[in-house]
A and B are shown apart, each in its own frame.
Chain A
Amino acid sequence: MPSLESNVPIFSAKGLTKVYQMGEVQVQALRGIDLEIFSNEIVVLLGASGSGKSTLVNILGGLDTASGGRVTYRDIELTHASEKELTNFRRLSVGFVFQFYNLIPSLTARENVAIVTEIAENPMTPEEALTLVDLGDRMDHFPAQLSGGEQQRIAIARAVAKNPDVLLCDEPTGALDSKTGIVVLKALQKVNQSLGTATVLITHNVVIGGMADRIINLHDGRISNIERNEKKISPDQMTW
């Protein structure tokens, strides 16, 4: 297990708040979050729906901006970044994995990865990325020809192919059955172990917390507690 204390945090959030204006109603999605995320670690964000998990990850990933507080990624202040800086941040430093894969149906597995490697600065090859998620043999298939688990692993390959500092995964197993979900989690763990990519994983499945270095519980827009997981297990050992 990497020693956290020796690391400089890659993300650091202080007093982060987010208010959505939904018509005439204000929704307080985040009510003051203080958080640091370090390289090499796997963080699992747990919480009921509406607890603010996705909002937090969206702000970390530069998809959304905070209403108050500060969030920095290394030296970059994300809170006040311009549209152009945020695009560039996403382009070079973050990898996303979504619940519904969001693959481009008109591109093959290899090309879905290539579309990202073509614009990244120091990427691996699409083949390397796909081999990492054990899909080396299905590279020329279109999404419509692949199962859900396979599609999600392409999405992981696509996310890691640019060698990002951090991987943000929003319910990556949410649309999958447990067996396939475990295959996907193993892929994520493999990436973390072999590349040292910091991984933030949103789920409401408590079991998945077993593979995390830290488990952060969110409740009603606040961090209710952070647990250190001393007994990390492999996804193989999980059941749900």
Chain B
Amino acid sequence: MRTINRKLVRDISNMWGMVFVIALMITCGAATYITFLSTLDSLKETQQSYYQDYYFANIFASLKRAPNHVAIQIREIEGVNRVETRVQSGLNLEVPGFDETVTGMIISLPDEREPILNSLYLREGRLPTPYVDNEIILGDGFAEEHGFTAGDQLKTVINGKEKKLIIVGIGLTPEFIYQGQPGSLSPDLKRFGILWMRRAPLAAAYDMEGAFNNVVLSVTREANTQDVITQLDQILEPHGGLGGIAREDQNSHFFITEELNQLSKTATIIPTIFIAVAAFLLNVVVGRLIRTQREQIGILKAFGYSNQEIGLHYLLMVSVIVIIGLIGGVILGYYLGQELSALYASYYRFPYLNFVINPWDVLAASVISAAAAYSGVFFSVKEAVTFPPAEAMRPEPPKLYHRSLLEKLGAARFLDQPTKMVLRQIGRQRVKIAFGVLGVAFAAALMIVGRMSNDSVKYLIEVDFRQSQPFDLGVSFRESISDHALMEIVRMPGVYYGEAYRGVPVRFTYEHRNHLTAIQGYPQNMKLRKILNTQEQPVEIPQAGLLLTEKLGEILNIETGDTLTVEFLDGSRRTTGIKVTGFINQFIGLNGYMNIEELSKLLPERHVVNGAYLLVNKSYEDEITKELTDSPFVGEIISKQKIIDRFYESTAQTWLIMSLFISLFAGATAFSVVYNNARISLSERSRELASLRVLGFTRGEISYILLGELAVLVLLAIPIGFLLGWALTWFIVWSMQTELYRIPMNISRATYTLAAVIVIFSALLSGLFVRRKLNRLDLIGVLKTRE
């Protein structure tokens, strides 16, 4: 081994503390990058292969009832590939020991074969025996939540009759990756189950023999889906067709796509910020490391080493650190990527996970880290080799200091000499301190970004639920019923007050853009449901015209005063133009709102409602729920409190993990920056500090001089970190808006506090490490050598 390489090995082992923190930064940056991007790649890959392998349909349509031979007509539509007709219906389920309302959907399986579209992935058990009327497959999410396995029984109410079913298998399909009641915020695996039964017995139970009420289609690659839907709608219209839905608008697919879109933004923005911060810090830190080697560079030059050889030497030194960091980053990223993908995969109910790690992501992480490190080497080596060797061997001449600002302002009398030293050091090394402050500030900012989802969603729930939805229970009716029905509900014991509404599914069209959603018709002066304007202030529903969610306005590119074409999808299939009178603020979902009476005028039936909001005595809530569940006209009951609880329940784990993960990385970054600063200061000032020890200063007194500087640095960094965190959060919120959610900008006090605490804790920890080094200062050596 050449001696210069031996020097390399020894230098690295002597500076292991510094090597460790620099490698740690690279590890954190690269691991975050790889974790998020591999998670994203894996989920997309898994979704694609799941759709393909299990024949996920392209078009979905529900109708009242059509005889089976209509399927032949459907099959003849140009561009249609496969057609599967089905019988499906909503039903109530009873889970022993779980006394909340549980609803579900039961779907038919062809009697003597497997479905050719939306195939079942059987996790356990077998398919139901053909023509047997009490065997079902149960959706795996629901089964898992309640601990059902093949062989268990499930009590249901099918078409008004109680029926005990035997679970013969547990399965899932690409149609229900997202399992939840339509309109809910998050998958609800506990309160919504999917069941599959053979066609003949199911048809018998719903009086659907020889007929179907649901059809799914796949189309050829060349087919125009919209044309196929138009023709399908024409065929189904006489049979009570509710309009075909393309895959893009299918509930589960839409949700999962939105989620993946959102994840893809998180998965790009957060690691990019992390690796950029790591790269910046790396550059600074490596530069400093090399500056401490100034004398050695002088000696090497004096011996006749060329600038290139010296450059190469330090390049090698940094390469070793980069490689250590990257190996750590790739291993950690690979491991965490698998964990995070698995977490998401189970959240979305994918049957399997194809974990992929894109070599390009690994390469990108490596290139970014290496580039940052090497540019640090390049500039500092370049600076070091420009000195003639004799000068470089001499350590830098004593620096000229100046009185600090505080002293110039007249505080000099009150400051002791050590404090003056701290202040003047800061004053002289403004750039160095600024970089340190920025580094620590970034660490604090990363913490704030890491807690963003937590804060924002809490805020969303506060605003969207507690403020704009003051009701306790929301009831939707199976069918439109007379508005007098509300009177009966309000008369129930424990109900204080109720308000009814009417919701109608619609297709909004403006110019060439359209969107499937619903119009909610609300009465004047509604109290249990507040519509908030874009400033989050409650507004009244206008007498005439339509209010749209702000985001929906953006999608349709429509402005106040424009007339929107509205096609009612309730069976009446009327089309009309309605003027948009304003926009409202709504974080979740896209809807239109209008006066219930105005809405009714546009529809065949007047004076009907299909839902109500209730204010109830909390202690009667369960009783009221029970009574309403038994009522034949009530479809679904939602308890606001339970929706909120459920939402926290389903997302809490993901948040916790993400938040922990990012906090850990941010903490490590803060530690690295502070430690690095302290180490460099120590090596620059060890002579000074040792001299003071010789003069009789205690360890505590000299620690004050060194760590005082760090304390100022950290204290400056925290408010700057808050600002940076705020800015980064704003940027992420802005870039992460999706159709499903608009994330509100909110950073809680707890987050700021936590960020400060983590930074201070990391600083104290590195202070402690440096303090140990201070205790071992070489008092004699320092006196014998010239500075």
**Which A residues have a C-beta under 8 Å from some C-beta of B?**
54, 58, 61, 63-64, 84, 87-92, 94, 96, 98-100, 102-107, 111, 114-116, 118-120, 142-145, 158, 170, 175
Given contacts A111-B420, A119-B697, contact A100 B399 (CB under 8 A): no
Partner of B401, one of A90, A118, A144: A144
Contacts of B782 in A (CB 8 A): 102
Which residues of chain A are within 8 angstroms of B693 by Cβ–Cβ distance? 87
CA distance A142 to B783 in the complex (A): 20
Shortest Cβ-Cβ A-B pairs, 7 listed: A91-B696, A115-B417, A102-B691, A90-B696, A106-B424, A144-B400, A106-B401
Q: Residue-by-residue, is B389-432 near A (CB-CB < 8 Å gives 1, otherwise 0)?
A: 00000000111111000000000000011101100110010000
Asked whether, in the complex, the Cβ of A105 is within 8 Å of the Cβ of B399, the reply is yes
- Identify which of residues 674-690 in chain B touch chain A, using a CB-to-CB cut-off of 8 Å: 687-688
Pair A144/B397 contact, Cβ less than 8 Å: yes
Determine how close the nearest CB of chain B comes to the CB of A145; give it in whole angstroms.
7
A116 neighbours in B (Cβ, 8 Å): 695-696
Taking the complex as formed, is B780 at the interface, i.e. its CB lies under 8 A from any CB of chain A? Answer: yes
Is residue B785 contacting chain A, with contact meaning CB distance below 8 A? yes
Within 8 Å of chain A (Cβ to Cβ): is B779? yes
- Is B786 an interface residue, CB under 8 A from the partner? yes
Question: What are 21 A-B pairs with beta-carbon distances under 8 A?
Answer: A54-B784, A63-B779, A63-B780, A63-B783, A87-B697, A91-B695, A102-B687, A102-B688, A102-B787, A105-B399, A106-B421, A106-B425, A107-B424, A116-B696, A118-B416, A119-B701, A120-B696, A142-B402, A144-B399, A144-B401, A145-B400
The reply on B698 being an interface residue by CB < 8 A is yes
Distance from B460 Cβ to chain A, minimum over Cβ atoms (Å):
52
CA distance A144 to B694 in the complex (A): 22
A158 touches B420 (CB 8 A): no
Residue of B nearest to A91 (CB): B696
Is the CB–CB distance between B696 and A119 below 8 Å? yes
**Contact B696 A114, beta carbon cutoff 8 Å:** no
Apart from A102-B782, A107-B420, A144-B401, what are 15 other A-B pairs with CB-CB below 8 Å?
A54-B784, A63-B780, A84-B698, A87-B693, A87-B697, A88-B696, A94-B696, A102-B787, A103-B398, A104-B417, A105-B399, A115-B692, A118-B416, A158-B695, A175-B786
A119 proximity list for chain B (CB < 8 A): 696-697, 701
Instruction: Looking at the assembled complex, report how far the CB atom of A63 sits from the nearest CB atom of chain B, in whole angstroms.
Output: 5
Instruction: Please determine whether A106 and B428 come into contact, CB atoms closer than 8 angstroms.
Output: yes
How many angstroms from the CA of A114 to the CA of B692 in the assembled complex? 12
CB-based nearest B residue for A55: B780
Residue of B nearest to A143 (CB): B398
Q: Using Cβ atoms and an 8 Å threshold, which residues of chain A touch B697?
A: 87, 91, 119
Contact assessment for A58 and B780 in the assembled complex, using a CB-CB cutoff below 8 Å: yes
Q: How long is the Cα–Cα vector from A98 to B428 in the complex, in angstroms?
A: 26
- Chain B stretch 17-56: residues in CB contact (< 8 A) with chain A: none
Nearest A residue to B424, CB-CB: A106
Cβ contact within 8 Å between A114 and B417: yes
Q: Which residue of A lies closest to B775 (CB)?
A: A83
* Known contacts A87-B696, A100-B786, A106-B425, A118 near B400 by CB under 8 Å: no
Residues in A whose Cβ lies below 8 Å from that of B701: 119
Residues on B close to A: CB < 8 A?
Answer: 397-402, 416-418, 420-421, 424-425, 428, 687-688, 691-698, 701, 779-780, 782-787
When the two chains form their complex, are residues A104 and B780 in contact, meaning their CB atoms are under 8 A apart? no
Q: Is the CB of A90 within 8 A of B397?
A: no
Contact of A92 among B696, B698, B783 (CB under 8 A): B696
Query: Which of B417, B688, B701, B779 is the most central at the interface, judged by chain A CB atoms within 10 Å of its CB?
Result: B417
Contact of B691 among A88, A104, A106, A118 (CB under 8 A): A104
**Minimal Cβ-Cβ distance residue in B for A98:** B783
With the chains together, A98 CA to B400 CA distance in Å?
21
Partner among B417, B428, B694, B787 whose Cβ is within 8 Å of the Cβ of A111: B417
Nearest-CB residue, chain A, relative to B782? A102
Chain B CB within 10 A, most for which of A58, A88, A92, A111? A111
Say whether, besides A105-B398, A142-B400, A144-B397, A118 and B417 are in contact (CB < 8 Å).
yes
The contact of B692 among A104, A105, A144, A145, by CB within 8 Å, is: A104
Asked whether, in the complex, the Cβ of B418 is within 8 Å of the Cβ of A100, the reply is no
Q: Which residues of A contact B402 (CB under 8 A)?
A: 142
Whether A170 contacts B783 in the complex (CB less than 8 A), given A91-B696, A104-B688, A106-B428, comes out as: yes
A88, A99, A100, A115: the one within 8 Å of B695 (CB)? A115
Complex CA gap A107/B419 in Å reads: 11
Cα(A209)–Cα(B691), bound, Å:
27
State which of A54, A87, A118, A170 has its C-beta within 8 Å of the C-beta of B698.
A87
Closest to B417 in A: A115
- Alpha-carbon distance A170/B781, docked complex (angstroms): 13
Contact B421 A107 (CB under 8 A): yes
Distance from A103 Cβ to chain B, minimum over Cβ atoms (Å): 8
Q: Which residue of A lies closest to B403 (CB)?
A: A108
- Partner of A96 from the list B397, B695, B785 (CB cut-off 8 Å) is B695
CB closest residue in chain A, given B783: A98
Q: Which residues from B are CB-within-8-Å of A89?
A: 696
Instruction: Verify A100–B787 contact, CB threshold 8 A.
Output: yes
In the complex, residue of chain A having the shortest beta-carbon distance to the beta carbon of B422: A106
